[in-house]
């Protein structure tokens, strides 16, 4: 009887032993993915209604040609206009 219990305990411990030991982990290289930074210019259209009035920002634009089109429209309305790149 004692030998059957001992055999059962040894068998049970043998089955549970792999769960107690952590698995060997293979070292994996760390992969770092960087995305290219999109550097684009913003063009700000600034206007003023009189020669000594402060400049006011009309709006930012990504396209230089579109900013100049907006500036042309403001000049047609009688404003002093400049396009600034930042």
Residue 75 falls inside a structural domain: yes
Residue 54 falls inside a structural domain: yes
Residue 86 falls inside a structural domain: yes
Quote the pTM value.
0.53
pLDDT of amino acid 8:
59
Q: Are 83 and 68 in contact (CB under 8 A)?
A: yes
Residue 69 falls inside a structural domain: yes
Paired residues of 81 in beta bridges: 47
In which residue are the tokens 């043998």 written?
Answer: 14
pLDDT of amino acid 23:
61
- Domain span holding position 47: 40-86
Model confidence over 24-74: pLDDT tens digits?
A: 667 777 777 777 766 667 999 999 999 999 999 999 999 999 999 999 999
Residue 64 falls inside a structural domain: yes
Q: Pull the structure tokens for residue 11.
A: 């068998």
Residue 83 falls inside a structural domain: yes
pLDDT of amino acid 68:
96
* pLDDT exceeds cutoff 60 at 76: yes
Count: domains in the chain? 1
């Amino acid at each position: 009887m004692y030998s059957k219990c001992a055999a059962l305990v040894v068998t049970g411990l043998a089955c549970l032993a792999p769960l107690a030991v952590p698995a060997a982990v293979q070292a994996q290289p760390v992969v770092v993915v960087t995305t290219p930074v999109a550097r684009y210019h913003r063009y700000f259209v600034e206007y003023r209604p009189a020669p000594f009035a402060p400049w006011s920002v009309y709006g930012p634009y990504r396209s230089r040609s579109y900013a100049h089109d907006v500036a042309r429209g403001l000049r047609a309305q009688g404003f002093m206009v400049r396009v600034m790149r930042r």
